[in-house]
C-alpha cells in the first residue's frame, strides 16, 4: 500500500531525473545478478537474457564465449528466442565460442549457415514469427539449406499471418516476381504496403518503386514515391538514398535540387552503391549548374564506382588515366581498366582497346584480344560492338582484312538501327563494288536521321 502511495507522489512530481552513467551501470550490474540467480535455477528466459547481456557487455564483462554458452543452455531448454539469437549469431560468424575460460578469445568469426538454419527451424516450429521470416530468407537465398522458393513462400506466409513486417515484404516480393511460380501483383502491393505501414525501412523504399512503376493496382505517383524514398533514406536504406538523390537531380516528384541530390548520392555511393558513385562522378565532370568541372573530384568517384564493378566508370577512368585527365597519366593502369570494362561488356571500352592496339600495330596481342572481345559482344547482339568489329575486319585490326565479314557485321548493325553503321554499310557497298543503289539508299537513310557524314556524302553527290 505504501509503495503505491509513494509511486503516486512521484507521478505528481513529474518524471524522475534521468540516471547518471554510474547509476545506469549499477542498475545493469544489479539486473545481471538477478538474471544469473534465475538462470542458475534453470529459467530459460533468464538464461537467454543473461547470454544477451554477456554478448553486449551489459552489467557484466563482454564475453562472446560466455554469452553463447548461456544462449545454448536456453535453447536446450526450448527457448525460441535464444534459438533465433543463435541463428543470427551463426550467420554473423559469432555463434561458435569454443574457449574454455570466461574471458578467453573465442576465436575468429566462423559463419555456419547450416547451424543457423537448424536453430531458425527449431524456433520457427516453436511459433516464432521472426524465426519463420529468417528461415524463409535462408530458403530463398540457399544459405544453410537448399534454395527452395516454395518453402520460402510457405514460411513467409506463416510469419505474415502472425503480422511480421519482414515476412510480408518477403512474400510480397515473391508474389510480385512469381519466384515460386505464382504471380499476384495486387497481393504483392498490399503486403508491401502493410510492411511499409509498420515502418519497415526497406518496405518504404520498395513501395516507392511500386508507385513509380505504377504496378497495378497502385497508380503512378512520383510525389508519393519521393516521400517514401525520403522516409527510407532517413533510415539509411542504401537504394533509397540513391533513388532519392536521382529524384532530386531530375525533379521526379519534387523540385530539382542538385545540391541535396549530390548529398544523398554521395551517401549511397559511400555505402557501396556503384551507380550512385558514377552519377556523382558525372556531376563533378559535368556540373549541373554549368560551373567548371572538377576532374580530380570526378575521378575519385569514378574510381570508387569502377572498384565496385561499374563498366562505364571503368572505361571513363581508363581513358582519364590514358590522357592524364584529373589523375596522373598511367598507360598500364589505363589499359587494365579498359580491359576490365570490356570484359564487363562495355562495347566502347572494347573499341578503345582496339584503337590502342592498332596504334602500335594492327596485329599486336592487344589488338587481337580487343577484336576477340568485340566479336563476342557482337555475337551477343550488341550493335555498337557489331559496328566496331566490322571496322576491325575492314581495317585489319586484330584480324586479317575481311571485306565480306566487315560488310556482314556492318549490315547487322545497320539493320539493328545503328545509324553510323547504316552510313558505313552504304559506304562499304560503294567502295567494295557492291550494289550501288542499295549503298546510296543506306547513306540517304542515315542522312535523313541526321548523320553528318551521310549528309555530306549526299550533298557531294548532288553537286557532282
- The 8-class DSSP code of residue 111 comes to -
The CA distance from 31 to 324, in Å, is 63
- The 8-class DSSP code of residue 253 comes to S
The CA distance from 117 to 86, in Å, is 10
Question: What is the percent of the chain with per-residue pLDDT over 70, rounded to a whole number?
Answer: 92
Q: Are residues 102 and 51 in the same domain?
A: yes
Residue 43 lies in a domain: yes
Contact 264, 246 (CB under 8 A): no
Q: Are residues 439 and 426 in the same domain?
A: yes
Q: Are residues 396 and 433 in the same domain?
A: no
Count how many domains the chain has. 3
Contact 70, 39 (CB under 8 A): yes
pLDDT at position 107, please? 65
Nearest alpha carbon to residue 119 among 70, 85, 164, 73: 85
pLDDT at position 419, please? 82
pLDDT at position 365, please? 78
- Give the domain-ending residue among 75, 99, 126: 126
Q: Are residues 53 and 120 in the same domain?
A: yes
Contact 371, 406 (CB under 8 A): no
Residue 186 lies in a domain: no
Nearest alpha carbon to residue 193 among 223, 231, 165: 165
Q: In a 10 Å sphere around its CB, with 0-12 CB exposed, 13-18 middle and 19+ buried, how is residue 423 labelled?
A: buried
Instruction: Look at residue 244 and tell me whether its pLDDT is greater than 50.
Output: yes
Nearest alpha carbon to residue 305 among 268, 331, 348, 342: 268
Q: Which grid coordinates belong to 240?
A: 533509397
Global pTM value: 0.76
pLDDT at position 282, please? 96
Q: Are residues 38 and 122 in the same domain?
A: yes
**Band of residue 236 on the pLDDT scale cut at 50, 70, 90:** very high
Instruction: Look at residue 12 and tell me whether its pLDDT is greater than 60.
Output: no
CA atoms within 13 A on the CB side of 327: 21
Q: Give me the chain's average pLDDT, please.
A: 89
Residue 60 structural domain? 30-126
Phi and psi based region of residue 195 (left: phi greater than 0; alpha: psi -120 to 50; beta: remaining): alpha
Q: Are residues 98 and 43 in the same domain?
A: yes
**Band of residue 358 on the pLDDT scale cut at 50, 70, 90:** low
Q: Which grid coordinates belong to 229?
A: 524514398
Instruction: Look at residue 426 and tell me whether its pLDDT is greater than 70.
Output: yes
Q: Are residues 40 and 68 in the same domain?
A: yes
Q: Which of 5-9, 84-88, 439-443 is modeled with the greatest confidence?
A: 84-88
Residue 300 lies in a domain: no
- Give the domain-ending residue among 400, 416, 432: 416
Phi and psi based region of residue 183 (left: phi greater than 0; alpha: psi -120 to 50; beta: remaining): beta
Q: Are residues 358 and 429 in the same domain?
A: no
pLDDT at position 67, please? 94
- The 8-class DSSP code of residue 102 comes to T
Contacts of 129 (CB under 8 A, 6+ apart): 158, 159, 162, 163, 164, 167
The CA distance from 259 to 249, in Å, is 8
Q: In a 10 Å sphere around its CB, with 0-12 CB exposed, 13-18 middle and 19+ buried, how is residue 394 labelled?
A: buried
pLDDT at position 7, please? 42
Q: Which grid coordinates belong to 300?
A: 575519385
- Give the domain-ending residue among 68, 102, 126: 126
Residue 144 lies in a domain: no
pLDDT at position 13, please? 46
Question: What average pLDDT does this structure show over 345-355?
Answer: 78
Residue 84 lies in a domain: yes
pLDDT, tens digit, for every residue of 123-167? 999 999 999 999 999 999 999 999 999 999 999 999 999 999 999
Residue 21 lies in a domain: no
Instruction: Look at residue 237 and tell me whether its pLDDT is greater than 90.
Output: yes
Q: Are residues 423 and 411 in the same domain?
A: no
**Band of residue 16 on the pLDDT scale cut at 50, 70, 90:** low
Residue 106 lies in a domain: yes
Q: Are residues 63 and 110 in the same domain?
A: yes
Q: Are residues 361 and 409 in the same domain?
A: yes
Backbone angles phi, psi at 201, to 5 degrees: -55, -45
Instruction: Return the SS3 of 451.
Output: coil
Residue 403 lies in a domain: yes
pLDDT at position 218, please? 96
**Band of residue 5 on the pLDDT scale cut at 50, 70, 90:** very low
Q: Are residues 36 and 117 in the same domain?
A: yes
pLDDT, tens digit, for every residue of 313-344? 999 999 999 899 999 999 889 888 988 888 78
Question: What average pLDDT does this structure show over 192-200?
Answer: 98
Quick one: which H or E segment has residue 40? Answer: helix 21-40
Amino acid at each position: 500500500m505504501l509503495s503505491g502511495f509513494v509511486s503516486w507522489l512521484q507521478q505528481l512530481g513529474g518524471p524522475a531525473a534521468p540516471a547518471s552513467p554510474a547509476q545506469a551501470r549499477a542498475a545493469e550490474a544489479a539486473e545481471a545478478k538477478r538474471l544469473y540467480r534465475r538462470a542458475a535455477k534453470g529459467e530459460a528466459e533468464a538464461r537467454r537474457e543473461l547470454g544477451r547481456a554477456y554478448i553486449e557487455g551489459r552489467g557484466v564483462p563482454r564475453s562472446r564465449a560466455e554469452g553463447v554458452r548461456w544462449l545454448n543452455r536456453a535453447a536446450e531448454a526450448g527457448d525460441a528466442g535464444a534459438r533465433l539469437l543463435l541463428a543470427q549469431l551463426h550467420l554473423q560468424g559469432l555463434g561458435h565460442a569454443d574457449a574454455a575460460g570466461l574471458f578467453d578469445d573465442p576465436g575468429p568469426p566462423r559463419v555456419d549457415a547450416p547451424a543457423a538454419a537448424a536453430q531458425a527451424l527449431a524456433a520457427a516450429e516453436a511459433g516464432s514469427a521472426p524465426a519463420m521470416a529468417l528461415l524463409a530468407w535462408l530458403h530463398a537465398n540457399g544459405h544453410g539449406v537448399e534454395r527452395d522458393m516454395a518453402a520460402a513462400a510457405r514460411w513467409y506466409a506463416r510469419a505474415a499471418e502472425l503480422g511480421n513486417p519482414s515476412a510480408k515484404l518477403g512474400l510480397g516480393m515473391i508474389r510480385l516476381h512469381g519466384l515460386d511460380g505464382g504471380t499476384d501483383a495486387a497481393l504483392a502491393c498490399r503486403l508491401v504496403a502493410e510492411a511499409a505501414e509498420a515502418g519497415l525501412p526497406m518496405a518504404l523504399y520498395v513501395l516507392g518503386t511500386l508507385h513509380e512503376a505504377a504496378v497495378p493496382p497502385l497508380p503512378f505517383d512520383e510525389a508519393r514515391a519521393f516521400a517514401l524514398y525520403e522516409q527510407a533514406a532517413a533510415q539509411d536504406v542504401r537504394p533509397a538514398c540513391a533513388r532519392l538523390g536521382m529524384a532530386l537531380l531530375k525533379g521526379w516528384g519534387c523540385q530539382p535540387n542538385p545540391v541535396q541530390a549530390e548529398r544523398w548520392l554521395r551517401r549511397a555511393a559511400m555505402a557501396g552503391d556503384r551507380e550512385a558513385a558514377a552519377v556523382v562522378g558525372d556531376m563533378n565532370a559535368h556540373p549541373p549548374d554549368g560551373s567548371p568541372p572538377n576532374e580530380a573530384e570526378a575521378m575519385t568517384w569514378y574510381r570508387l564506382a569502377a572498384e565496385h564493378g561499374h563498366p562505364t566508370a571503368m572505361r571513363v577512368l581508363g581513358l582519364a588515366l590514358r590522357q592524364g585527365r584529373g589523375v596522373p597519366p598511367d598507360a598500364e593502369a589505363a589499359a587494365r581498366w579498359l580491359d576490365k570494362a570490356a570484359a564487363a561488356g562495355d562495347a566502347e571500352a572494347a573499341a578503345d582497346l582496339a584503337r590502342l592496339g592498332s596504334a602500335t600495330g594492327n596485329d599486336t596481342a592487344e589488338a587481337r584480344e580487343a577484336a576477340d572481345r568485340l566479336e563476342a559482344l557482337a555475337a551477343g547482339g550488341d550493335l555498337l560492338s557489331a559496328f566496331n568489329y566490322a571496322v576491325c575486319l575492314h581495317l585489319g585490326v586484330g584480324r586479317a582484312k575481311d571485306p565480306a565479314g566487315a560488310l556482314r557485321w556492318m549490315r547487322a548493325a545497320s539493320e539493328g538501327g545503328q545509324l553510323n553503321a547504316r552510313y558505313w554499310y552504304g559506304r562499304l557497298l560503294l567502295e567494295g563494288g557492291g550494289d550501288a543503289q542499295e549503298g546510296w539508299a543506306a547513306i540517304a537513310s542515315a542522312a535523313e536521321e541526321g548523320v553528318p557524314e551521310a549528309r555530306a556524302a549526299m550533298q557531294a553527290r548532288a553537286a557532282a
